Amino acid sequence: MKKRMIVFTLAILVSLSSAVGSVWLITTKFVYQPGEDIIVFFRTGTPDNDSNYQVQQSKVASLLHIAPNGVDADVRSQLTNDSAAYLRMRALPQDEGTHVLVFSTQPIVTTMNGAAFVKYLMQENLVNENAQIQTINPNSDITVTHQISSKSLFHIGSVDRSTLTENYLQPTGAPIDIIPQQHPLALTEGAPTSKFNISYQVLYKGAPLAKHPIKVVAKYMRAPNELQPLKTDTLEYKTDRKGFVYLKIRPSVLRITATVLTQESNHQWQVNTGAITSSTPIRIFNINNNSQLPLQMKQQVERDISEYMRRNN
């Protein structure tokens, strides 16, 4: 195996949350320059109200880093028992290109009250037939086996066609694998409020997840000449018969999630949750490469970055 160029230092909380939900791998930005520190937070909750995700090494199935050349390495051995849920890396000149991080947990078994589980199913729109809910006794305990996977994309170096590597296209083996079909940062940028077309394929245990609901959380970044605050939309889509979902969306940070629910018996259920965090071209993340922005706009964008970090950490 080729020597990994990125130097990893990881500190992560020691107990795994038993709550059923998504985990997000959140980078401080999506485009880094050589020499910068890359910080990836493990977060759970909603984009406007998330918190550190608590994990312990024995509960991690894999923590995979896919380098720009497609070579992957499981870096879970870097997990420590320190009290912060983040991954710190250093961007080196030889690491130019797109990087992918993939995190998967071991199956997590927890017990929930039947009424609380029904409420969760309804809130997440996971059950389409009332007959399925009626099999759940609200006064009984439900055993839920939950497995979580999450992916994040970030880039090192200049953003151009020669450096936007295609390693993001390769399946990762995660139980739910959400794969962009176009490089999110390669989309053609127009006006700050124009929309991009981007598609994803969703795989469940290696096969297309067909006709399945997908949740998209789009966090729109304020354009340099706009005064309105940051805005978040939660959108619902459905995959086609080949597992593809097609989005038309404004420049934004995208958090996309899919959840598969399987009933084994009246008292035993399986929940698989998969997520991906990526970004369409957003001027604030390319500010150091965009000399065309006037100084006043650059200063405003830097304030936007500070506000984004304050609200998300």
d(CA 244, CA 200): 6
Mean pLDDT, rounded, for 136-160: 89
Instruction: Examine the pLDDT at 145 and tell me if it is beyond 80.
Output: yes
Q: Which pLDDT score, from 0 to 100, does residue 131 have?
A: 59
Partner residues linked to 176 by β-bridges:
204
Q: Could you tell me which residue, 183 or 191, shows the higher pLDDT?
A: 183
Q: Which of 46-55, 187-196, 247-256 shows the lowest per-residue confidence on average (mean pLDDT)?
A: 187-196
Q: Which pLDDT score, from 0 to 100, does residue 301 have?
A: 44
Instruction: Examine the pLDDT at 240 and tell me if it is beyond 90.
Output: yes
Q: Could you tell me which residue, 67 or 89, shows the higher pLDDT?
A: 67
Q: Where residue 48 falls among pLDDT bands split at 50, 70, 90?
A: low
Instruction: Examine the pLDDT at 2 and tell me if it is beyond 80.
Output: no
Q: Could you tell me which residue, 71 or 14, shows the higher pLDDT?
A: 71
Instruction: Examine the pLDDT at 174 and tell me if it is beyond 70.
Output: yes
Q: What is the pTM of this model?
A: 0.77
Q: Give the mean pLDDT of the chain.
A: 75
Q: Which of 136-140, 214-218, 277-281, 296-300 shows the lowest per-residue confidence on average (mean pLDDT)?
A: 296-300
Mean pLDDT, rounded, for 185-189: 67
Instruction: Examine the pLDDT at 241 and tell me if it is beyond 70.
Output: yes
**Are the C-beta atoms of residues 156 and 99 closer than 8 Å to each other?**
yes
Highest averaged pLDDT of the listed ranges 5-9, 21-25, 37-41, 143-147: 143-147
Neighbours of 140 (CB within 10 A): 12
d(CA 25, CA 303): 23
Q: Could you tell me which residue, 311 or 212, shows the higher pLDDT?
A: 212
The tokens describing 62, both together, are 């894999």
Mean pLDDT, rounded, for 217-226: 62
Mean pLDDT, rounded, for 277-302: 49
Q: Where residue 117 falls among pLDDT bands split at 50, 70, 90?
A: confident
Q: Which pLDDT score, from 0 to 100, does residue 281 have?
A: 66
Q: Could you tell me which residue, 185 or 15, shows the higher pLDDT?
A: 185
Q: Which pLDDT score, from 0 to 100, does residue 247 have?
A: 87
Mean pLDDT, rounded, for 191-208: 81
Q: Could you tell me which residue, 281 or 122, shows the higher pLDDT?
A: 122
Instruction: Examine the pLDDT at 293 and tell me if it is beyond 90.
Output: no
Domain extents in the chain: 8-312
